[in-house]
Amino acid sequence: MEKNSKIYVAGDHGLVGSNIMSRLQEKGYTNVIGRTRQELDLTNQEAVNTFFESEKPEYVVLAAAKVGGILANDTYPADFIMKNLQIQVNVIDAAYRNGVKKLLFLGSSCIYPRMCPQPIKEEYLLTGELEKTNEAYALAKISGLKMCYYYKKQYGANFISVMPTNLYGPGDNFGLTNSHVLPALLRKMHEAKESNADTVEIWGTGKVLREFLYIEDMADGCIFLLENYDGADFVNLGTGKELTIRELAELIKKVVGFKGELQFNTDKPDGTPRKLLDVSNMEALGWKYKVELEDGIRRTYEWFLANENNLVMK
């Protein structure tokens, strides 16, 4: 990519897209564009085609998606599969038809089988059943990465895909009904500390294992791939490190300064037992994460405190 290449970041107001856009600008890319949902409805094929025909972006980062945690995924599966499929089909096809030089599609590590061998290699995709609570979202993301693969195979389009692990950081969604586990726990601990509560409830047993990648590292990794990778196969993006939800909760408790007890509600679902990505392919390309988890949580909490009064949280 040239520094003046026109780069369209789809989903530039979300956690992933906004960080990729900011990092591109920090690296000296001067023609990075985005559109709000009000300006461009990516589920509307005609609107997407018109946008690509008029703007003619040279590079595209497809970070737009309908996302949520276990509760949202399990409650609204039709919305999750329909809206994500619409976005992906519209953007990927329009990119091809309008001569985009390169497209980067962002998936999710939930695409892998529920009982996958660990750590998870890219070739384990479609070797077993998916986790039921987020199956609809996972099926949409699998379709997106396969679309990129087949457009490359049939048309020679330079469309690549990356599979990030669980992401977190400044700008995250801190809602209690529609967010992911780390920001939800951070908010719960903060509010418990503020109200001098004795306990914080945490869904599940606390025994399942998760991997977390700081959002700025994710942006760096994605731009690295845009600049250095043209392969047909998608690439895992993560830290290669994991911890239990109980250990995560204890770490957040430490950072926030909550002094009470943690209560695990075993009537609530755990989700996938373990989900550690094998990141050896990414490291072989020459990229590795920088921000360790405790430091990332501390940065995220500092941002939360600075922006708490302006956040819309459900």
Q: For the segment 231-289, what is each residue's pLDDT rounded down to a tens digit?
A: 999 999 999 999 999 999 999 999 999 999 999 999 988 877 888 999 999 999 999 99
pLDDT of residue 314: 53
pLDDT of residue 288: 98
pLDDT of residue 312: 63
Helix residue ranges per DSSP H, 172-313 = 181-194, 215-228, 245-256, 280-285, 293-307
Annotated binding site: 11-17, 106-109, 141, 164-167, 180, 188, 203, 210, 270
C-alpha to C-alpha distance for 88 and 81, rounded to whole angstroms: 11
C-alpha to C-alpha distance for 155 and 26, rounded to whole angstroms: 33
* DSSP run (H or E) holding 106: strand 102-106
Q: 151 and 92 in contact (C-beta within 8 Å)? A: yes
Write down the mean pLDDT value for the chain: 94
Q: Count the neighbouring beta carbons within 10 Å of the beta carbon of residue 298.
A: 16
Catalytic residue among 59, 112, 137, 168: 137
Q: For every one of its 314 residues, what pLDDT tens digit does the chain have, with 9 covering 90 and above?
A: 999 999 999 999 999 999 999 999 999 999 999 999 999 999 999 999 999 999 999 999 999 998 777 777 788 899 999 999 999 999 999 999 999 999 999 998 889 998 899 999 999 999 999 988 889 999 999 999 999 999 999 999 999 999 999 999 999 988 876 678 899 999 999 999 999 999 999 989 999 999 999 999 999 999 999 999 999 999 999 999 999 999 999 999 999 999 999 999 999 888 778 889 999 999 999 999 999 999 999 999 999 999 988 876 65
Catalytic residue list contains 137: yes
Q: What percent of the chain has pLDDT over 70?
A: 98
Going by C-beta distance under 8 Å and a sequence separation of 6 or more, which residues neighbour residue 111?
125, 130, 138, 141, 142, 145, 163
Q: 275 and 114 in contact (C-beta within 8 Å)? A: no
pTM of this prediction exceeds 0.85:
yes
Q: Work out the angle at residue 295's Cα, subtended by the Cα atoms of residues 219 and 241, and round it to the nearest 5 degrees.
A: 70
C-alpha to C-alpha distance for 144 and 152, rounded to whole angstroms: 13
pLDDT of residue 281: 98
Annotated binding site for substrate: 188, 203, 210, 270
Q: Kindly report whether the peptide bond that precedes residue 119 is cis, defined as omega within 30 degrees of 0.
A: yes
| Per-residue pLDDT tens digits for 192-221 | 999 999 999 998 999 999 999 999 999 999
Tokens describing residue 199: 């306990």
Annotated binding site for NADP(+): 11-17, 106-109, 141, 164-167, 180
Complete domains list, the chain, with CATH: 7-169+212-240+277-291 (3.40.50.720)
User: Strand 243-244 vs strand 166-168: parallel, antiparallel, or unpaired?
Assistant: unpaired
pLDDT of residue 313: 60
